A and B are shown apart, each in its own frame.
Chain A
Amino acid sequence: MARAVSPRRKLITTVAAWAVSLLIFFPVLWMILTSFKTEASAVASPPQLFTADWTLQNYSDVWARSDYPRFFWNSVVISVGSTLLGLAIAIPAAWSMAFVPGRKTKDLLMWMLSTKMMPGVAVLIPLYLLFQRTGLFDTKIGLVLALMLMNLPIIVWMLYTYFKEIPSEILEASRMDGASLWKEVVYVLTPMAIPGIASTLLLNVILAWNEAFWTITLTTTKAAPLSAFIASFSAPQGLFYAKLSAASTMAIAPILILGWFSQKQLVRGLTFGAVK
């Protein structure tokens, strides 16, 4: 039986939800508004949410001063590439962990997750040197590999959770029907796990797109994605908040739009298996 919710309680919950959402969204809103202000009104004290002199000048300046399409393309290649490569490795790994677990599978999963608890800076020097000596520094391939390795534990964990929801009898049926392991994964497992794979893909594209520490550290010019594009507006002449905001808005706009259109899939994927 559904629990009865009083109108008062509903009102309080709604107001609280809006307040939290606004609080989370406020920095993004502030940044977008600032990107349309002049540098003077951007740093006005006390700060103003709205201004009288709205302008598009910051956007044309940013566009003129840097090669936005190249940074954008690098971001696309790095985020999509690292996610696809991660999926190609994680699907068979998650399959074996979900359907033919060994005695140490749980430990292995925990160990993979624990690598996410380590601060990235701890491996900064070795990775930096490794990239320099192997010629991967400032290459898209290098960043694809680095971000794939960073996100692999999350991809494996998410897929493992989705795969665990698939009844093993269906996979056994495909084995009885003469499917080889490869065909079982391609024709049966993957199509059944598509909602889960899609949300894993989306989430990891977003994570890789937003990653700043490694993308800035391991690139200079050629392979620099949008995170480096933003950083390039914070030096050396000081901070130009309005232009920085315009650059940031241009950097997050594509992923924000992707997130907006795929939110249903994302939520569905992230709550998959929560309610049976």
Chain B
Amino acid sequence: MGKITLTQVRKSFGETHVIPGIDLNIEHGEFVVFVGPSGCGKSTLLRLIAGLEDISGGKIEIDGTDATDLPPGKRGLAMVFQSYALYPHMSVKKNIAFPLKMAGMDEAAIEAKVQSAAKILNLANYLERKPGQLSGGQRQRVAIGRAIVREPAAFLFDEPLSNLDAALRVTMRQEISELHQKLATTMIYVTHDQVEAMTMADKIVVLNAGRIEQVGAPLELYNHPQNLFVAGFIGSPKMNLITGAEAQKHGCTTLGVRPEYIEVSADGPWQGTIGLAEHLGSDTFLKVDVPGIGMLTVRGSGEMHLHHGNQIRLGPQAGKIYRFGPDGKAL
């Protein structure tokens, strides 16, 4: 199992209301990613679910049981921390065995579980080493191993890849996704990296200032953002948001066009000057200054022979615009 239900969960530190009230359903086996800018409350929300912080109001249910007042170790959840949080004085084997030892399991059963987890995570050759003798990726695997052996109702990941280099991050991202396929256990994953969110999640929860802005599948959020915040947050590079006369022409307060949906063509409605051209081979990114509209980001596929100072004409692809009203909501 691994169904988690939050009902009007609130968290305040003194007069500061970090999370003013959240309702959320997480189904069994789902990979849910909490995403949002720094300070949006995503890590706090995870810690509330884990029981590492007390909630100021509301209710947390795990598999139908009220877990609001249960201590962290009794919630049946396992957590992987950003800093790995391994026990530095214990060997890899003892680190992985620790939760089982705390549960009072007998030695033979512990040994079998540790060996099995070590095999899944390719740690069999490192069991006698101390965490200090491992690389960042190996440490992260030990942290995951320590979580797996408990057979938790859900795994909680708090920005687990932030301390790894870019190449290792891609590998670990795939490993965690594969692990989710293999274990089919609920996973809640906090990140500020939207590539991680888009590639790993079954469901993304976009948070802003302690509130949920939108919940949905990655492409649902990308294709149908409910408001300006989600539109601007999901997608890289960010969606171009145009206000003023150009937006009014389309009957809205803010007009949104994703960089990949702007075409450079001789008959485009807008004319501008290229301020910056980035040639990546697979893509070309242009920053174009369009009088009356502002700076637009354009993403072109493949190599485009355009450079700083070139005058170009451009415009949005038909049907690929987003319109937002004065309250920031999608029209």
Which A residues contact B (CB, under 8 angstroms)? 167, 169-170, 172-180, 183, 187-188, 191-192, 194
Contacts and interface: CB of A to CB of B under 8 A. Distances in A.
Given A169-B81, A183-B102, A176 B87 contact: no
Contact of B85 (A169, A191, A194): A169
Given A177-B146, A178-B99, A170 B87 contact: yes
Nearest to A170: B85
A187 B95 CA distance: 11
A191 B98 CA distance: 14
A175 B73 contact: yes
18 contacts: A167-B83, A172-B52, A172-B72, A172-B79, A172-B81, A172-B85, A173-B79, A173-B81, A174-B102, A176-B50, A176-B99, A177-B73, A177-B102, A178-B74, A178-B103, A187-B98, A192-B88, A194-B89
Given A172-B52, A172-B81, A173-B81, A178 B73 contact: yes
A203 B270 CA distance: 77
Residue in B99, B102, B103 with the greatest tally of chain A CB atoms within 10 Å: B102
Contacts, number: 61
B58 interface: no
A62 B88 CA distance: 51
Please classify the interface of chain B as helix (H, G, I), strand (E, B), loop, or mixed, using the class held by over half of its residues. loop
A236 to B, nearest CB: 56
Residue in A177, A183, A187 with the greatest tally of chain B CB atoms within 10 Å: A177
Please classify the interface of chain A as helix (H, G, I), strand (E, B), loop, or mixed, using the class held by over half of its residues. helix
Contacts of B150: 177-178
Given A167-B83, A183-B102, A176 B88 contact: no
B102 A179 contact: yes
Contacts of A172: 52, 72, 79, 81, 85
A39 to B, nearest CB: 55
Nearest to A172: B52
A104 to B, nearest CB: 16
A188 to B, nearest CB: 6
A222 B274 CA distance: 94
B78 interface: yes
Interface string B91-128: 00000001100110000000000000000000000000
A188 B51 CA distance: 19
B132 to A, nearest CB: 12
